[in-house]
Structure 1
């Protein structure tokens, strides 16, 4: 099945209590002893194995919270007047723990977070990791970087100093960014070059990927772009399609207008791209811009995608085929099970979004596809006749067969190469399908063709440089 999602390591917003409700003291089960509950609800109960001093839990012990009778959190360490004080460990289930020194109930100083075997170490400031630190994956691959409000970013210092996070005036009302609530503001990062700006690189996350993960995965690309006087912009969109009147389009337009005004950017030198779903957004934004109607703030100079699905009808049909071949089959690996779950999600989502299958509603699929192989004119791809286009793909069929029970018919490469071939035929001399065989690896070092690493940073920056000079 042709992936939209990319299951990269989630770089979390590593706050513990800072954004929680005020909390309150609650009574420990079967006693008059009190302990502070930072996320109190009326369904909370707590037990404590330690001593009680002046009606408050005090000293060393284990506090176990339950919600609706189910364990929700466990603290092992010291308490003072009912709050964590001194060395302690906080565990949420079996796979997420925080360790360090607590002061008046808050983590302060050196500590770590273990997220299912992926360990983040740095200084805690009011429960949030800040400053220089490390990320060590369960594969034992380790990276040095910097925590900004709990988010890990691995840029070198000279580029980190040029990084800025900007809050948008738009809220996440349509939940186009899955990492924050609908009432939260959307945001974007900029990485400025030193000196003049001659071009703009826009990077869009894949489905479910954090913006910070995009930076970490594209460290070399972002830094080389900065060296070549190209500003990089990264937007908080990872859970959305694009239409001609929705929040996704509005957020893109508003951001492009804000950065253009603030940094006096050349509107005709934007290059936009992304991985998977981010690449889909980049292609559709460019097609909408080229179709006319003044629906976009910029008309991208060029567009690229890292393994993006491009034909929604093809994606639906291969999803249904994958379900038929694998649903109910015994001894599927975890990766195959993930592929099966995604195929079911895609088929169900497309049935809701488009009303049914491509056979039932062909026009809806053509309208929302980047390219339609069923159409002689290529569908929306016809608007890219004079736009430089790059599509990167790691067409490792042996990996797909072994790890995912897929064959050539199930790979994004089939429709991607057809799209580029169509563009070449109609006269686009700067449309390229770039096979990056064997180059797909995740941040933690594991092999996966559907990854940012298939994009050759140096080659892409050279291409952008030629376009904006």
Structure 2
């Protein structure tokens, strides 16, 4: 299942090639970095690290997919930044107990590997961006050891209510069998977990990063003094051709509205970064819903400035 209809959860699974193996091996040989891999995460730790970047994958993907689609490890290690690639990949939203559990797991990762709790940045692609926003907010709100200096997303489906409504439109349009099947799956999943919005949207507001219909950003309120970046590539022509989506049905629309609402409510460190023709998969396929819309060099500058 690809879920290209929303550009919300998945990216296409491609083969994982470690193009940075020689560079990393040289650094490992000089004892400048160490790597850890297990079922929950992969870590590339730099000696005397200047900061730590934590990355969450899209729905159904893993650390190896993040590494393949977002080749940032070699650059990060050269800049003196450690990288944690999470395997947490089955959530587009987090309930309170899930936030607490994930936050505890991340603190344990830092403590076990003796990572500094200074200069931590958290980000993710697609559903991983939602997770980054929600757990980042939890860290600040709960006064955890982890206090992220910045949080960022890559074309994430930040408004769950809007996703549901878009899926209903897609089913009615009947643009393609794939689009209809994917939309029916999402509607069914949300109905099971959150109930139908026709019966009230409270459960959606409780777990969604943003609800445009009501201007609700309660789940991000603790990030008011945290740096936030919102990356998206609003290629209207591409989405119209691929899945008959208008701008108002794209992640880019909800992300733009989120940026406006955050600034309206006094968030002073919010950047909306709308790219053009940057979205390409590792296999060369053109797709605006891709890790590649995030400029790696600029991201490192943002972390280290």
Q: TM-score, normalised by structure 2?
A: 0.89
Is 1:218 matched up with 2:58? no
When you count strand as a share of all residues, which structure comes out higher? 1
Q: Is 1:435 matched with 2:288?
A: no
Give the match for residue 153 of structure 1: 18
Matched residues in 2 for 1:450 and 1:435: separation? 12
Report the number of matched residues. 294
Shift of residue 278, structure 1, vs aligned partner: 0.7
Equivalence for 1:143: none
The answer to whether the 8 A contact 1:257-1:297 is kept is no
1:42 is aligned to none
Matched, 1:346 2:186: yes
Matched residue of 2:40: which SS?
strand
Asked if the contact 1:153–1:212 (Cα under 8 Å) also holds between the matched residues in 2, the reply is no
Q: 1:297 to 1:361 in 2, by over 3 A?
A: farther
Aligned to 2:293: 454
Unaligned runs of 5+ in 1: 12-150, 168-185
User: Residue deviations 1:242-295, cap 9 Å, x none?
Assistant: 22213x752442233332443341x24210011101111001101222333x5x
Report the Cα distance in structure 2 between the residues aligned to 1:274 and 1:449, rounded to whole angstroms: 15
2:58 to 203, 206, 231: 206
SS of the residue aligned with 1:370?
coil
What CA distance in whole angstroms lies between the structure 1 residues aligned with 2:56 and 2:295?
16
For residues 140 and 198 of structure 2, the distance between their equivalents in structure 1, rounded to whole angstroms, comes to 28
- What is the distance in 1 between the residues matched to 2:254 and 2:179? 19
Task: Identify if the C-alpha distance between structure 1 residues 325 and 297 changes in structure 2 by more than 3 Å, giving closer, same or farther.
Answer: farther
Q: Kindly indicate which of the two structures has a greater share of residues assigned to helix.
A: 2
- Residues 456 and 386 from structure 1, CA distance in 2 versus in 1: closer, same or farther, beyond 3 angstroms? same
Alignment of structure 1 residues 8-407 onto 2, 5 Å: 8-11=12-15, 152-160=17-25, 161=28, 162=33, 164-167=35-38, 186-193=39-46, 195-219=47-71, 221-240=72-91, 241-246=93-98, 249-265=100-116, 267-292=117-142, 296-326=144-174, 332=176, 337-356=177-196, 358-407=197-246
Tell me, yes or no, if the aligned pair for 2:263 and 2:270 is still in contact at 8 Å: yes
For 1:380 and 1:244, locate their aligned partners in 2 and report how far apart those are by CA, in whole Å: 10
Cα distance in 1 between the residues matched to 2:297 and 2:180: 36
Q: Name the stretch that deviates more: 304-313 or 153-162.
A: 153-162
What is the alpha-carbon root mean square deviation over aligned residues? 2.0
**Cα deviation digits, residues 200-230 of structure 1 (max 9, x gap):** 10011101122111111121x2222211211
The whole-number CA distance in structure 1 between the counterparts of 2:100 and 2:22 is 33
Q: Where does the alignment leave 5 or more consecutive residues of structure 2 unmatched?
A: none
Higher RCO, Cα 8 Å, sep 6+ = 2
**Aligned equivalents of 1:277, 1:163: Cα separation in 2:** 29
- Structure 2 CA distance for partners of 1:4 and 1:435, relative to 1, 3 Å: same
